[in-house]
Structure 1
Amino acid sequence: MISWLRVGLSAMLAGLCACASTPVQWPSPDGQPKLPPAREINPVARPDAAHVTAIVGATLIDGRGGPPVRDAIVVVRGERIVAAGARGDTAVPAGAEVVRGAGLSVLPGLIDAHFHLGDDDGLPGLVLQRGVTSLREPGHWIEAYDAARRLGPVPRLFLMGPLLDGPAPAYPESAMIVRDAAEARWAVDRLVERGASGIKAYFRLPLGTVEAVIQAAHARGVVATAHLEAVDAAAAIRAGIDGIEHITSLGTALVPPREAERYRQAVIADNTARFQGRYQLFRGISLEAPRTAQLLGLLALRGTFLAPTLAVFERRAGDEGATEAEVRGFENMMRLVGKARRAGVRVVVGSHGAAPGAERGWAYQREMELLVESGLSPMETLVAGTLENARFFRIDDRLGSVEPGKLADLVLVEGDPLAEFGAMRRVKQVMLNGRWVTALQGD
């Protein structure tokens, strides 16, 4: 009997090992899984390994949140940063290409946690010119980026493939329908095999299927994020979701259960009900209610990343067609983001690709401006868009900050964004993998 049990247990363990594509890893202290680094789908051009570039005299904002370094020198050899610090402590190698940085600030390349291509194949190349050197598309077929890649240099592409949604999907052209846990696991396997560096669950999936998506994603060594709305955010966080897309995903967890259920039923019956319903929901939330503090505390405790994408929801008094409910609802969204950051929530920057209050290619900058308006300091916002986003992507071992040994994704802006945040719109030059990006003609 004992021998039979041993044989059976050994077979069960062998089967479990065969199902996992990555070694089992103990979770980190915050309860999140330790997943391997993510990789971009597109090979990035490499420079001459012997070429040296020195940016001299700029203000260095290195992405780590410490004081800026005035009159700094950043040295790049090949694709790597080899030195970064004050002029008196950092030498310019002989023969280096010297870039005069007086009046400029040098920062890590910006990372966009939530970008949508839409039908605009030229948009990735354009946002690269605006300083975005890495982006994540959470909900489109990977091959949809083929045309964009042929047009010229694009950011590092961390693609997740189509979103996973339930029957009657909100966006059929960019979704895979999964009807139960088994189909969820199957879909995750197929997407990861095709190069997905993460998986996104959409709001029509029931909680049990969202849990299956999370478990399957982690078993394959990739992150799981979600656009919730019809699923309680606290339940998804406890299930182990790595990131939450959109501040509106928190709505049903912040209102009384009866109100949340009314909204949930409306959205399940009609996908478009959320477009106005989310503003009505947020108009009535109480930022001082115990449930708000509890949810934000849970987000902070679990280390769950939050990409608010405020810019896509922006509605202001005086905007054409903006209703009073939209204006008040958006004000509460902004207040909630500020409160979340003060509670220790890991807020990151996601542009949505396009936003009503931003001209083409400037949605990322608009999102940063709204985060500052919501109460994040300029430094917190820059860290959210660089090193914190690199942690969200699991690429902070090589990107997200200006440090020796990291890849040289850099952006030079005119002025000091810590003193005047509008400087982030005055992008002078962008470096991707140690190579200066050639400006594209036209917008």
Structure 2
Amino acid sequence: MTILRALTMIFALAWSAAAAAQPGMQPVPDRPAGEGEGPYPSLVIRGATMIDGTGAPPMGPVDIVVEGDRIAEVHLTGAPQKVLDSASRTIDASGMYVLPGFVDVHGHNGDPGKAPQPSYGYKLWLAHGVTTVRGVSFYFGPDQPDLSDAARSEANTIAAPRLIPYAAFGDKWDGGTPDTPEKARAWVRWIKQAGFHGVKFFNSETPEVLGAALDEADKLGLGSVAHLAQVGVAQVNARKAVELGLDGVTHFYGHFESLLKDGTVPQYPAGYNYLDEQDRFGEVADLADQIVAPGSEKWDEYVDFLVESGVTLSPTFNIYSASRDVMRARTLEWHDKYTLPSLMNFYEPSLTNHGSYYHDWTTEDEVAWRHFYRPWMRLTNEFKNKGGRVTAGSDPGYIYQTWGFAYIAELEMLREAGLSPLEVIQAATINGAREIYEPKGIEPPIGSIRAGKLADLVIVPENPLDNLKVLYGTGHKRLNRETNQIETVGGVRWTIKDGVVYDAPALLESVARMVEEQRAAQGQ
């Protein structure tokens, strides 16, 4: 069995297990009247403090004028009275903060056994200010609605972020496994013609196959990103993949294998079994003890190599955070109201559900993962400090990471890794936009607040640079020292995508109703 076929089987089995638990994925319903309003001939957002996504400091109050789906003007000294008088709608954002719509570069959706209605994830993303998501893939397998969901989102007939569909290498078509350079090129041409925007690799059969696919993708203006799985990393680690032309590395895979201090492959216990996910995720933490010292000559040379290559890193720190404290992940405060019972069931330790690997997860496992995060975060931060591009991706739907909430958790972990608050917002906005649009050879129409850009905006009552927790849908609890009462502050107030204004709390309430309806249907 080829590596590519083995990896495809792993994800197919995960999909099949989910489908067996609750067969039947539902189509996304059309956006009903009142769920998102606009776009308007003229929308004015008044009096907000602007964080524009470029890294510039906050400034305000500003008035932002939106015409249709585009930002028409940004007035630093207030919009002229005639503009205010002619507005179709005015949002009073006095004392609030406005940011570009967030970009999640690592999205999945559609596993029917855990979230049978894809709008569940789409609405949670929107409710947390995410207006663009790159799906890697949104759905695995042929005949899935990646492209139709993307088209419906572009037309704003569904409540969803802008959807950028990538296809997993070898997936979607019926032409067989692309296990030669010629077949790899043919598959890449096929997905381009089908309408996909890029390729997600899991480590292909050979370096020759990967190299051919990357070369063809580059010629056709398709993006590329890789989860460099352990079963292929002996042939293609992150250094090799980047040398072959890979645009982006997601997760941690491939980095430490490029930094081993002894040998050319990781040292696993004799009884290690990659298909036993407790082995796969438990033993990988020991890589932290097998690499060269951070700051050593080999370490610095590798960081410099990554920066000079122009590769993008989307670490997805949050998706493995349960490995550091599974009890905390299991009891996160949003699970009760916003996590579907079917999704909570999927998260529980399991021999079949992908990512539910903490079968007998011990203090020693958690300590090993905390140790593992230190060099991983240092590598990411040093890469950023030397000029490398870091983006924000959440990889939701696994390991207690629920859509939307997981994205804000990723922003917090980027902060933990050493990015400043403004750099975190850069990662979440303009950096993500550039990672998506750079392969197309065009300036991104999203990611910053500028006249002419698409009207993708987030309005939040509190300053996220002071406290990223105010972006969570559940808000941030604090003690009012004058009244000695607990109050909840924050939460996104409005998310604007293509000039369509979404009431974020209303989206959350619609998700809460989905959760209650599923509980009632299951007799809970």
Tell me, yes or no, if the aligned pair for 1:314 and 1:330 is still in contact at 8 Å.
no
Question: Mapping of 1:119-158 within 5 angstroms?
Answer: 119=111, 120=115, 121=118, 122-139=120-137, 140-141=139-140, 143-145=144-146, 152-158=158-164
Amino acid at match of 1:71: P
Q: After TM superposition, give the deviation of residue 366 of structure 1 in Å.
A: 0.5
Moved more, 185-194 or 354-363: 354-363
2:521: which partner in 1? none
Measure, in 2, the Cα distance between the counterparts of 1:275 and 1:204. Answer: 21
Q: Which runs of 5+ in 1 are unaligned?
A: 1-42, 166-171
Question: Mapping of 1:121-270 within 5 angstroms?
Answer: 121=118, 122-139=120-137, 140-141=139-140, 143-145=144-146, 152-164=158-170, 177-229=177-229, 230=233, 231-256=236-261, 258=263, 260=265, 262=267, 270=275
Compute the TM-score of the two structures, normalised by the length of structure 1: 0.80
Match for 1:442 among 511, 517, 521?
Answer: 511
Question: Mapping of 1:83-94 within 5 angstroms?
Answer: 83-88=73-78, 92-94=83-85
Tell me, yes or no, if the aligned pair for 2:238 and 2:253 is still in contact at 8 Å.
no
Tell me, yes or no, if the aligned pair for 2:303 and 2:379 is still in contact at 8 Å.
no
Distance 1:290 1:175, change over 3 A: farther
Moved more, 380-389 or 355-364: 355-364
1:64: which partner in 2? 54
Distance 1:234 1:271, change over 3 A: farther
1:37: which partner in 2? none
2:24: which partner in 1? none
SS of the equivalent of 2:449 reads: coil
Match for 1:398 among 416, 431, 445?
Answer: 445
Q: After TM superposition, give the deviation of residue 341 of structure 1 in Å.
A: 1.6
Q: After TM superposition, give the deviation of residue 184 of structure 1 in Å.
A: 1.0
Amino acid at match of 1:143: Q
Amino acid at match of 2:240: A
Q: After TM superposition, give the deviation of residue 175 of structure 1 in Å.
A: 12
Measure, in 2, the Cα distance between the counterparts of 1:369 and 1:178. Answer: 39
SS of the equivalent of 1:276 reads: helix
Question: Mapping of 1:6-17 within 5 angstroms?
Answer: none
Tell me, yes or no, if the aligned pair for 1:46 and 1:434 is still in contact at 8 Å.
no
* Corresponding residue pairs, total: 395
Tell me, yes or no, if the aligned pair for 2:36 and 2:159 is still in contact at 8 Å.
no
Measure, in 2, the Cα distance between the counterparts of 1:270 and 1:302. Answer: 33
Measure, in 2, the Cα distance between the counterparts of 1:199 and 1:239. Answer: 14
Q: After TM superposition, give the deviation of residue 290 of structure 1 in Å.
A: 2.1
Distance 1:300 1:147, change over 3 A: closer
- CA-to-partner distance for each residue in 1:324-357, whole Å, 9 max, x for gaps? 3222113332232222222222100001023546
Question: Mapping of 1:21-32 within 5 angstroms?
Answer: none
SS of the equivalent of 2:246 reads: coil
Amino acid at match of 1:369: E
Question: Mapping of 1:368-383 within 5 angstroms?
Answer: 368-383=411-426
Measure, in 2, the Cα distance between the counterparts of 1:85 and 1:178. Answer: 53
1:75: which partner in 2? 65
2:105: which partner in 1? 113
SS of the equivalent of 1:291 reads: helix
Amino acid at match of 2:43: T
Measure, in 2, the Cα distance between the counterparts of 1:136 and 1:158. Answer: 4
Moved more, 198-207 or 411-420: 198-207
1:168: which partner in 2? none
Q: After TM superposition, give the deviation of residue 147 of structure 1 in Å.
A: 7.3
Amino acid at match of 2:467: E
Match for 2:493 among 418, 423, 428?
Answer: 428
Amino acid at match of 1:95: S
Verify: 1:307 aligned to 2:314, yes or no.
Answer: yes
Q: After TM superposition, give the deviation of residue 174 of structure 1 in Å.
A: 13
Amino acid at match of 2:313: L
Match for 1:55 among 30, 45, 54?
Answer: 45
CA RMSD in angstroms comes to 3.3
Match for 2:304 among 297, 309, 324?
Answer: 297
Moved more, 349-358 or 306-315: 349-358
Tell me, yes or no, if the aligned pair for 1:83 and 1:90 is still in contact at 8 Å.
no
1:363: which partner in 2? 406
Q: Which runs of 5+ in 2 are unaligned?
A: 1-29, 328-360, 473-490, 513-524
Match for 2:284 among 278, 281, 292?
Answer: 278
Tell me, yes or no, if the aligned pair for 2:52 and 2:99 is still in contact at 8 Å.
yes
Distance 1:402 1:90, change over 3 A: farther
Distance 1:318 1:363, change over 3 A: closer
Distance 1:269 1:246, change over 3 A: closer
Tell me, yes or no, if the aligned pair for 1:253 and 1:260 is still in contact at 8 Å.
no
Amino acid at match of 2:496: M
Tell me, yes or no, if the aligned pair for 2:188 and 2:217 is still in contact at 8 Å.
yes
Distance 1:418 1:211, change over 3 A: same
SS of the equivalent of 1:392 reads: helix
Measure, in 1, the Cα distance between the counterparts of 2:263 and 2:271. Answer: 12
- CA-to-partner distance for each residue in 1:119-172, whole Å, 9 max, x for gaps? 13121232112111110111344724457969931111100123348xxxxxx9
Distance 1:267 1:159, change over 3 A: farther
